[in-house]
Amino acid sequence: MRRKLIAAVGAAALVAGATACGTEGGSAGDGGKKTLTVWVMDGSAPEPWSKELNKAFEAEHKGVEVEMKVQQWNGIQERITTALSEDSPPDVLELGNTQTAGYAVTGGLADLTPMKGELGYDQWNEGMLSSAELDGKLFAAPWYAANRAVIYDKSVYEEAGVKPPETREEWLAGLEKIGEKTDKQPLYLPGQSWYVFAGFLWDEGGNLAVEKGGDTWEGALASDEAAAAMDFYKELQSHSTAPKDADEATPQQSTDVVPKGDVASWIGLGWEAGGAVAAIEEAGDEADFGYFPIPGKTADQPGHVFFGGSNLSVSERSPNKELAQEWLQMATSEEWMTKYAEATEGGLLPNSPAAQVDPAEGSFAEAMVASAEVGRITPVTPGWANVETDPNPIKTYMTKVLEGTDPKQAGKEADEVITERINGS
């Protein structure tokens, strides 16, 4: 997940003094000491948590030093692929949750299946767990996740007499009212925000692609469920002046659109909310945002959301595999995940609901946590990364439907591309 999440939710600074990339691996040092090398991504590990964790691990493992190396998301897949193919790869690696299956299928990750009980497998968030497994085997431990929520301007909602909704119907009615009673854009929603669409699709019981057996997958956007999800997306998008042929990053909604002041609400991640607040304050104004979960079809459950996040894995070729597994076990335990949630001020979801801390009332984190039990990820298969390659067929599908193409026809065209790509043809 290419996001500086910790900074966005006001957590502590990143791991200090760590070097950038490098593919040297685990055993090193003088006097018989061993160095355990851990790669973490920029924005994932708050410094106080990392220092305390590594100090505790080193105290239990005399002669071992943990060296964390911070990596940048840009170009990380190539660097990890190279590192895993070498004789001395990093011992432990943070992997994006949609990337893990791709590395597992190459044989580069250690099989952690025998450690399920020790790792607390049964206590993990089900929405995060799926990304850590492939073909019935466990290749990672979920670490953290984050999801989107609705961010709204409190003053505009108050002016229109609108309260945060609990259902889709209330949401649409509120947007209509804002359009009638204020001069603001009720909702900024670009036509290609496909992570948002995915949540609506899961609400309808559909999926982006389905497994047909024999390691074969096919696209599933020509379905009735996808058509229903796009119908709702289209209703929402009718309250927006955002382009139908662009996503939330073109232009970046949090820093290039929202700070201009004519947006009543939008859908984003915590780091985006933080970025908007910073941009507004830099311009000399004051942001007064409220947050609510993306509403579901009924009030008893919020809408499904995409979980962006990371897992922790052990390299198959790690020269310190047993130590690496022990470090991973400690780092992802309920004790240390609770500390992690505290260090991120509740702004990231830990791998276990039991480790979740109560977020501040009225915070983005509070709205995000409310959707945690209905978080999901994209289909877990090594070929999924090919689907997201530009031009992303899901984005193309969405634009076509918004511009008037029949959803079933647009879905059929998208499914042909998805099926070819996901199966690696």
Nearest to 247 by CA among 206, 172, 194: 194
Instruction: Give me the residues paired with residue 146 across strands.
Output: 308
Q: Whole-angstrom Cα distance, residue 334 to residue 123?
A: 9
Domain ranges of the chain: 5-146+308-363, 149-305+378-422
Residue type, 113: T
Average pLDDT over residues 42-62: 95
CATH of domain 5-146+308-363: 3.40.190.10
Give tens-digit pLDDT for 314-351.
999 999 999 999 999 999 999 999 999 999 887 889 99
Average pLDDT, the chain: 91
Q: What is residue 178's three-state secondary structure?
A: helix
* Mean pLDDT of the region 361-366: 95
pLDDT tens, position by position, 299-316: 999 999 999 999 999 999
The pLDDT value given to residue 173: 98
Residue 32 pLDDT class (50, 70, 90 cuts)? low
Q: What is the pLDDT of residue 9?
A: 34
Residue 24: pLDDT over 70: no
Any idea what the Cα angle at residue 421 is, between residues 416 and 425, rounded to 5°? Answer: 100
Q: How far apart are CA 16 and CA 67, in angstroms?
A: 11
Return the pLDDT at 30: 45
The token pair at 6 is 């910790």
Q: Could you identify the residue written with the tokens 């089900």?
A: 126
- What pLDDT is attached to residue 17? 29
Question: How remote is the C-alpha of 359 from its chain's centroid?
Answer: 18
Q: Is residue 26 scored above 50 in pLDDT?
A: no
DSSP three-state, residue 301:
strand
What is the pTM for the complete model shown? 0.86
Cα 278 to Cα 199: distance, rounded to the nearest angstrom: 28
400: nearest Cα among 251, 194, 257: 194
Greatest Cα-to-Cα distance within the chain, rounded to the nearest angstrom: 74
Q: Which tens digits make up the pLDDT trace of 111-145? A: 999 999 999 999 999 999 999 999 999 999 999 99
Q: What is the pLDDT of residue 15?
A: 29
In this prediction, residues 91-95 reach a mean pLDDT of 97
**What would the pLDDT profile of 2-14 be if each residue is shown by its tens digit?**
333 333 333 322 2
Contact between 157 and 288 under an 8 Å Cβ cutoff? The reply is no
Region at 7 (left for phi over 0; alpha for psi -120 to 50; beta for the rest): alpha
Query: What local confidence, expressed as pLDDT, does residue 205 receive?
Result: 98
C-beta separation of 98 from 134 below 8 A: no
pLDDT value, residue 31: 52
Task: Please name the residues in contact with 171: beta carbons below 8 A apart, sequence gap of 6 or more.
Answer: 165, 236, 295
Contact criterion met (CB below 8 Å) for 327 and 66: yes
d(CA 111, CA 402): 44
Query: Which pLDDT score, from 0 to 100, does residue 5 have?
Result: 35
pLDDT at position 50? 97
Q: Which fold would CATH assign to domain 149-305+378-422? A: D-Maltodextrin-Binding Protein; domain 2 (3.40.190)
Q: Distance (Å, rounded) from C-alpha 344 to C-alpha 350?
A: 10
**Least confident stretch, 4-13, 156-165, 271-280, 281-290:** 4-13
Q: Which two tokens stand for residue 378?
A: 């994209």
**pLDDT higher at 344 or 179:** 179
Q: What is the spatial distance between Cα 49 and Cα 54, in angstroms, rounded to a whole number?
A: 9
Strand partners, 167: 296
Query: What is the spatial distance between Cα 357 and Cα 366, in angstroms, rounded to a whole number?
Result: 10
Residues 208-229 have a mean pLDDT of 95
Which residues on adjacent β-strands are paired with residue 39?
69, 93
Please determine, for residue 36, whether its predicted confidence score (pLDDT) is greater than 60.
yes
| Residues 214-237, mean pLDDT to the nearest whole number | 96
Q: Which residue has the higher pLDDT, 285 or 26?
A: 285
Q: Comparing 5-146+308-363 with 149-305+378-422, is the CATH topology the same?
A: yes
